A and B are shown apart, each in its own frame.
Chain A
């Protein structure tokens, strides 16, 4: 039956566009037709029909944070996605079919996220849902994607995919997740900056990953966590939080998101001034923010994790240059048309790479329409990694088909002379850990 279904699908897809005809024939006619048409696939007429059907674009539902606390990321995710779609279409599309992006704003809101996934599946009738960043939105949206049985590719950094809490339809193929990032960079942090660390993190799912895994990393590397300081992502005043950092702290480890990031970093500088401990931040605290903004001078000499260096000289490969040009970013990480418009460079590459990963899965599985979801998912689960190149400019990735998560290199950069300078690149192995999560055991 599976074989029949597979062969019959192109013709059925044609029928789908004519709803009245389909309802007229009814289900019986469709099933009978499938049997008959399967044998006609070798027939010249059927092949024409297949060719005509294949011209229909692959529609990708892009769940974008256009508004809400994720708006800055959303703006750059959208630019990157459109650039990737254009690039892929110039290459001839996915499996010979053009890609069409259908974008919907989710307001960076989990409830709306789930609604958007549903809208994609039932109204826009997209092939895949893609592009979600904020972890609470991923958590809110994934169950709906699983219920609707539509592949859902997230670009989120959160541990939720690899944690096994989601379902077989959710993948994070091209951006590494928080535990892996922490394991990779904390090894360097504990051995180079100090053993006693205070962790400042946003008070929701993504931040909890930082809280929990920094603890684990401290144990592994002989360090201690002197304080854990959660900050609500909508907070606007931060000075009071800094009093919770013990005086003998060696390193402040910070990661913040939301519209208050600039204020957060600035108030940290105002509070500590030159008598500061070492500071190690996740670039999230500065994504979309100009490092030369007034009040950020104190960051000089502090360190940041970057997934992909914001400044072009940080990782100067040919593929990186092609990617940087395609997404319209200059050598300092800002928009080519507006140097004040700083990109979210350490995250948005995930969109570009995920689009190529989808392309790979579509082409290798021979995906044509919804009926091929199982084949597409199994193909993706069979991937073991992605080679570095224009499709994956951030670097090579190892992919774990069982927990649906990729692993890759990380960068550590030091702020000096008003820019970020790469000082260390971790290996993929630094961020690997044992995982017994296995989504492939779930039914499709």
Chain B
């Protein structure tokens, strides 16, 4: 075993590195989805579009600042979550609240939202993929191969945002309200928790996290109106494996999916990695429908 690792160390290292970067970004995107489901019991199919909006807004900020990468990036870090969070809050008040968060209706409603956002972006932003320059660009040379320095920054910033969210959940009053609503919305209400506003805020935070992920990722790839679909699928995979509504589960699952994706991709085929992740979802749904860390839904 150790001889094998010695022989294949560069590949193992790359798999771990690339897998971890994937895992951090995935965790950040999936966290919003998990949060929204956990607290609101809403399956938000439009989650990927919030990610895409974040990326598109990052492009807009980059453009607005006269193509100054660092300034545009910093501006986008503020503008994207505020705008997308605001949009999500509005959608909650105007759509989800009015259909009383009925599970089936919310799925249909968020599918509608997905298409509305996608088509609006197509109309105003256009169909092509537009590049955004990275705020800090450098290449890290390892003995065997090089790697994008910005990708490492993305992983680090995702980690900071994950920590921040955790801090919000366990240390703030809103976090307390959120956890209370998640455990039992009705009881929380009787104890004076303003669940209606908690719902709006959770939906906004979930969308804002996705938008931030979009801002971080866009310099690695490019902004285009269809980019929300893949992260949506991956987020669902992560959230189902981790257990719907469990933040800890989401984190663990993001790392299982990310790292295994890295290893399978490097040693076998990237397509095989996606297939196996899908098989894993099916297995989880059959063997442990609540996911690794999910609780029974009351």
Could you list which residues of chain A lie within 8 angstroms of chain B, going by C-beta atoms? 66-68, 71-72, 74-75, 203, 231-232, 234-237, 239-243, 259-260, 262-263, 266-267, 269-273, 288, 293-295
Q: What residue of chain B has the Cβ atom nearest to residue A232's Cβ?
A: B271
Q: What residue of chain A has the Cβ atom nearest to residue B131's Cβ?
A: A262
Are A67 and B14 interface neighbours, CB within 8 A?
Answer: no
In the complex, what residues of B have CB within 8 A of residue A67's CB?
Answer: 122, 127
- Asked if B49 lies at the interface with its beta carbon under 8 angstroms from chain A, I say no
In the complex, what residues of A have CB within 8 A of residue B265's CB?
Answer: 240-241
Are B141 and A273 interface neighbours, CB within 8 A?
Answer: yes
In the complex, what residues of B have CB within 8 A of residue A270's CB?
Answer: 139, 146-148
Could you list which residues of chain B lie within 8 angstroms of chain A, going by C-beta atoms? 11, 14-15, 18, 22, 122, 126-129, 131, 133-134, 137, 139, 141, 145-148, 220-222, 224, 226-227, 230, 262, 265-266, 270-271
CB distance from A137 to the nearest CB of B (A): 15
In the complex, what residues of B have CB within 8 A of residue A259's CB?
Answer: 128-129, 221-222, 224, 226-227
In the complex, what residues of B have CB within 8 A of residue A72's CB?
Answer: 128-129
* Known contacts A67-B122, A267-B148; A236 and B134 CB within 8 A of each other: no
CB distance from A52 to the nearest CB of B (A): 41
Q: Can you give 30 A-B contacts (C-beta < 8 A)?
A: A67-B122, A68-B226, A71-B126, A71-B127, A71-B224, A72-B129, A236-B227, A237-B22, A239-B148, A240-B18, A241-B270, A243-B14, A243-B266, A259-B128, A259-B224, A259-B226, A259-B227, A260-B221, A262-B131, A263-B220, A269-B139, A270-B147, A271-B145, A271-B147, A272-B145, A272-B146, A273-B139, A273-B141, A273-B146, A293-B131
In the complex, what residues of B have CB within 8 A of residue A272's CB?
Answer: 145-146
CB distance from B22 to the nearest CB of A (A): 7
Determine the distance from Cα of A294 to Cα of B150 in the docked complex, in whole angstroms. Answer: 13
CB distance from B24 to the nearest CB of A (A): 13
Determine the distance from Cα of A267 to Cα of B221 in the docked complex, in whole angstroms. Answer: 10
Are B270 and A240 interface neighbours, CB within 8 A?
Answer: yes
Q: What residue of chain B has the Cβ atom nearest to residue A238's Cβ?
A: B270
Contact of A288 among B11, B128, B141, B270 (CB under 8 A): B128
Are A234 and B146 interface neighbours, CB within 8 A?
Answer: no
Q: What residue of chain A has the Cβ atom nearest to residue B267's Cβ?
A: A243
In the complex, what residues of A have CB within 8 A of residue B230's CB?
Answer: 234, 236
In the complex, what residues of A have CB within 8 A of residue B271's CB?
Answer: 203, 232
CB distance from B94 to the nearest CB of A (A): 28
In the complex, what residues of B have CB within 8 A of residue A232's CB?
Answer: 270-271
Q: What residue of chain A has the Cβ atom nearest to residue B19's Cβ?
A: A240
CB distance from A287 to the nearest CB of B (A): 12
Q: Which 4 A-B pairs have the closest CB atoms?
A: A259-B129, A71-B127, A240-B265, A273-B146
